[in-house]
Amino acid sequence: MELRGPVVAVEEPRTVSTRNGSRDVAEVTMRPGRGEEPPVTVSLWGSWAETAESLVTGMTVLVTEPSQEEFRGETRYATTAESYVVIEPEFMVNVTDIREWVQCSRQYYLSKFTGASLSYPLVKGSLVHEVFGDLLRGRDLETSVEERVADAGLKLGLLDRDRTAVVEDVRSNAQAIERWLQQGTLTEDDEWRSELTLISETFGIKGRADAVRRGGPVELKTGKNTDAEPRFKDKVQATCYALLLGEHGQTPETGTLLYTKNAVLDRTEETGDLSPAKEFSISSGLLQFVVRARNELVAMEFDSSVPTGYESNAICEYCFEQDTCMVVSGRLDQESKAGAVGTALPAAEREYFDRLYRAAEAERREIHREYAKLWTQSAAERAADDKALLDLQPQERSQRANGTWELRAENDDTTAVSKIREGETVLASDGHPTRGDTELARVVRLRTSTDGTTEIVVHADEPIELRRLDVYPSDYGINGLLTAVHDSVLKGAQRRRDLLFGRRDPTFGETDATFIDNNAAQNRAVELAVTAEDCALIHGPPGTGKTYTLAQTVRALCERGERVLLSAFTNRAVDNALEQLREQGFTDFVRIGTEHGVSDSMQDARLDYRGDPEERAATLRNAPVVAGTAATCGSPVLKECAFDVAIVDEAGQLTEPDTLAAINLADRFVLVGDHEQLPPVVRDDDSALQTSLFERLIDRYPDAAVTLDKQYRMAQRIQYFSSQTFYDGQLRPASPAVAGQQLSELPTVSHEALPSALQDAVAFVDPDGTATGNVNRTEAERVAEIVDAYRSAGVPADDIGVIAPFRAQVAEITRRVSPDITVDTVDRFQGSDRSVIIVSFVATGTLDSPIFEDRRRVNVALTRAKKALCLVGDERALRSDPFYERMLEWAQS
């Protein structure tokens, strides 16, 4: 039995006399059944009374295994020896965060935004953990060490580490692991599981256990510990995993900590217990302690308060974060047990930091709601939300050379659609993502054949039965946002901060050079970027050649001896910019990114981290242009680099912290984008992250911006609505040829073969269908007929694109058209164009979905077409909104 629901009232804890002596108790009133049932009172006894001090009205609380008794007609509940009390159980806390909170609540807070820098202890620790996993999967030690060190070549090179010395260091730690694994205490009956992913529905805790042996957790630490017992913070980490394993039917009685450095200590110089493996008993008291610690952390996050260090009785004297803690406290005017140094930042900068901190944490909470949907939604609901692929048929599975597994499955459900993409990390399971056998896996192949069967290939640590894939709602990127804000506000140069906070206007030098001689706006953009002493802003409406201009800017800067960071929101935009550089004869660049993220045409430029450390580091350090997504700019590798200029494309789509991550690495920056197209993607509708830095700066510093006003893509008829609606009528065709282009100019097209309704450059078709959810099958069929009409008139398949607002409608249309017709959502069409674009609006009757409220998405959809644009939708629904009514009048004029 459990009670779960919102808190209605909380009484102060008090001490009462019982027949077993004095005990603390606190009365909590809550509404069970997730708030649907009448209020009840629960007595929290003993240590759980401490948790009541963290409860406030409105919080959700979960009480497991309560006792129940009738008293004067009222049912009363109380905690028992088997009970747990969990605050906000759907707020997912990482196991490592609980470990850090217990050690120091202040350190937990600081680790969110001080970022993991590139350091040898961290790199070595990762290598030893990887070798540990390899050994558990049966891989040879020497092979594993050599291969893992080679994989880390770039990182080791940036740290100026000798490969041979690192191999010896990792080997010595790994040998300690191997000797322990070979001890006689292990038998053939031992069952091992490495890197086990655990997500708790009850406790709101998630993590990956290093290993599980006989149902008990084994955690690896590359440091030393000469005490007989494991360190308490390490016990806490292992106990968290024991708690989660208990939810999965295991009953671990002991945990093991493996301190590998103990094996390489000089026994003539060290005293104490030098054995690497240290076991401890997992008691109910320790299990309850980690839940209470987790509750304290969540309560702090619930009201966005900042911990001081007093919460966990931190010992500051020997803390390696003491100096950082004191600086942050001083600069942000925060209370800290360690004290504070330095002068507080101006109030505007502290408010800016706090505002973006709260916005990032609000995004984290939205992501945690997605975690809860893994179990609160049914499988069918997950699939309907495009978050899961169900009923997969497992195919062959094979062990790879590195000991991990390649798992294959097929899906013959032709109606299945999801947000899962190749290269992404997902939850692979044998049927349920939290209750079943689950592995974190990387999708390496997700392809649908002409008969509708989807082939699925993933790589995972263990060979599970692959029957389901779920989107993995990682909050990993949130700390990256916080780190970018921290680095900008607390580490950024005064001159940069003055610019960002409006205390100083951007300044520019002079040049007599002409960079582009046939487009004044493009030339002015390059000129502004080259002479900028702080920043320059290039506003590039659709089809205006912003990628060409960006490439010219990169070349001009490099010719002046500048080192350039080239970044963007998407991998596609980064690769498009590099393609344009190649077309202009410039190839001296390196691409940072994963094999799946980088396009096929740019694989030869991708910097492989694997190899000789010195050579890998030299390649990165000597490259005049380094390119990668904004998300990559926060990585430890790129944070080791310095640039003269950062150029950020798609800047209108990036949140402000995302943009900061890129520009923090450079002395000056150029933002390129269009705030009238796709906005930043945020989950919280009221978020301060909705406005990009590009939009904020272009509003504040219009003299630092250039708008490209000649477009090379669309016929005059097509571009008219967007020009008038979004660009004050300033967008115009670059030439009469662009303005007057027609489909009949394509050599294979017969204009007369087109139906009369499609002969105009802009057409509207009402299919008289009915939307069911996010699908309109009649409209999808009509779109397929329109595609056939264009094809019959001679339009090549690769010249036709179809855009729909929902993935479900994309899937519905895809099933009805040839595989060589591109059908996708607006977001994935950004940066692309076709001679013919067909837009399916889906909705009938009214425009109820929030997706129709963002007019900028419509701007993107309408401006993908070069020669012909066909809008397909319900006229009555579209005329229910003034904006869409104006669009219809234009289309039908």
**Quick check: 747 pLDDT over 50?**
yes
Q: Whole-angstrom Cα distance, residue 492 to residue 352?
A: 14
Which of 275-279, 414-418, 602-606, 872-876 is predicted with the least confidence, judged by mean pLDDT?
A: 414-418
Q: Whole-angstrom Cα distance, residue 324 to residue 332?
A: 12
**pLDDT confidence of residue 184:** 47
**Quick check: 271 pLDDT over 60?**
yes
Q: Whole-angstrom Cα distance, residue 475 to residue 481?
A: 11
Select from 674, 576, 590 the least CA-distant residue to 632.
Answer: 590
Q: pLDDT tens, 13-29?
A: 999 988 888 999 999 99
**Quick check: 437 pLDDT over 50?**
yes
**pLDDT confidence of residue 670:** 99
Average pLDDT over residues 47-52: 94
Domains of the chain: 2-87 (2.40.50.140), 118-182 (no CATH), 504-708 (3.40.50.300), 716-892 (3.40.50.300)
Select from 893, 142, 365, 762 the least CA-distant residue to 134.
Answer: 142
Which pLDDT band holds residue 74 (cuts at 50, 70, 90)?
A: confident
**Quick check: 126 pLDDT over 60?**
yes
Cα 161 from chain centroid? 31
Q: What is the DSSP letter of 443?
A: E
Q: What is the mean pLDDT of the chain?
A: 93
Average pLDDT over residues 348-373: 94
Q: Whole-angstrom Cα distance, residue 466 to residue 476?
A: 25
Which pLDDT band holds residue 558 (cuts at 50, 70, 90)?
A: very high
**pLDDT confidence of residue 498:** 97
Q: Whole-angstrom Cα distance, residue 68 to residue 85?
A: 16
Select from 442, 464, 379, 438 the least CA-distant residue to 413.
Answer: 379
**Three-state DSSP class for 523?**
helix
Residue 890 and residue 861 in contact, taking contact as beta carbons nearer than 8 Å: no
Residue 520 and residue 514 in contact, taking contact as beta carbons nearer than 8 Å: no
Q: pLDDT tens, 278-332?
A: 999 999 999 999 999 999 999 999 988 899 999 888 889 888 889 999 999 999 9
**pLDDT confidence of residue 221:** 93
Q: pLDDT tens, 195-237?
A: 899 999 999 999 999 999 888 999 999 989 999 999 999 999 9
**pLDDT confidence of residue 415:** 67
Select from 306, 186, 288 the least CA-distant residue to 239.
Answer: 288
**pLDDT confidence of residue 187:** 52
Which pLDDT band holds residue 188 (cuts at 50, 70, 90)?
A: low
Token representation of residue 534: 């702080």
- Report the 3 state secondary structure along 277-293: EEEEECCHHHHHHHHHH
Which pLDDT band holds residue 412 (cuts at 50, 70, 90)?
A: confident
Which pLDDT band holds residue 186 (cuts at 50, 70, 90)?
A: very low
Q: Whole-angstrom Cα distance, residue 311 to residue 87?
A: 17
**Three-state DSSP class for 440?**
strand
Select from 858, 860, 498 the least CA-distant residue to 701.
Answer: 498
**Quick check: 191 pLDDT over 90?**
no
Backbone angles phi, psi at 225, to 5 degrees: -155, 105
pLDDT above 70 as % of the chain: 99
Which pLDDT band holds residue 189 (cuts at 50, 70, 90)?
A: low
Residue 109 and residue 312 in contact, taking contact as beta carbons nearer than 8 Å: no
Element (H, E) at 16: strand 14-18
- Report the 3 state secondary structure along 666-703: EEEEEEEECCCCCCCCCCCCCCHHHCCHHHHHHHHCHH
**pLDDT confidence of residue 315:** 87
The string of DSSP codes covering 760-820 is SSEEEE------BTTB-HHHHHHHHHHHHHHHHTT--GGGEEEE-SSHHHHHHHHTTS-TT
Element (H, E) at 752: none
Token representation of residue 324: 């950082």
Q: Whole-angstrom Cα distance, residue 61 to residue 73?
A: 24
Helix 284-302 vs helix 232-247: angle between axes, to the nearest 10 degrees? 90
List all residues 6 or more positions away from 832 whose beta carbon is below 8 Å from its beta carbon.
801, 822, 864
Q: How many CB atoms lie within 10 A of CB 169?
A: 20
Q: Whole-angstrom Cα distance, residue 402 to residue 460?
A: 11
**pLDDT confidence of residue 750:** 94
Direct distance between the N- and C-terminal alpha carbons of the chain, in angstroms, rounded to an integer:
66
**Quick check: 671 pLDDT over 70?**
yes
Q: Whole-angstrom Cα distance, residue 384 to residue 774?
A: 9
- Radius of gyration of the chain from Cα atoms? 30
**pLDDT confidence of residue 117:** 84
Q: Whole-angstrom Cα distance, residue 430 to residue 432?
A: 6
List all residues 6 or more positions away from 865 whose beta carbon is below 8 Å from its beta carbon.
714, 718, 833, 834, 835, 836, 837
Average pLDDT over residues 766-777: 92
Which pLDDT band holds residue 190 (cuts at 50, 70, 90)?
A: low
Select from 127, 172, 163, 147 the least CA-distant residue to 403.
Answer: 147
Q: Whole-angstrom Cα distance, residue 194 to residue 211?
A: 4
List all residues 6 or more positions away from 818 whose beta carbon is below 8 Å from its beta carbon.
787, 791, 797
Average pLDDT over residues 778-786: 97
Average pLDDT over residues 743-758: 94
Letter string b/e over residues 119-150, b meaning 16 or more CB atoms within 10 A of that residue's CB: eeeebbbebbbbbbbbbbbebebeebbebbbb
Record the pTM. 0.93
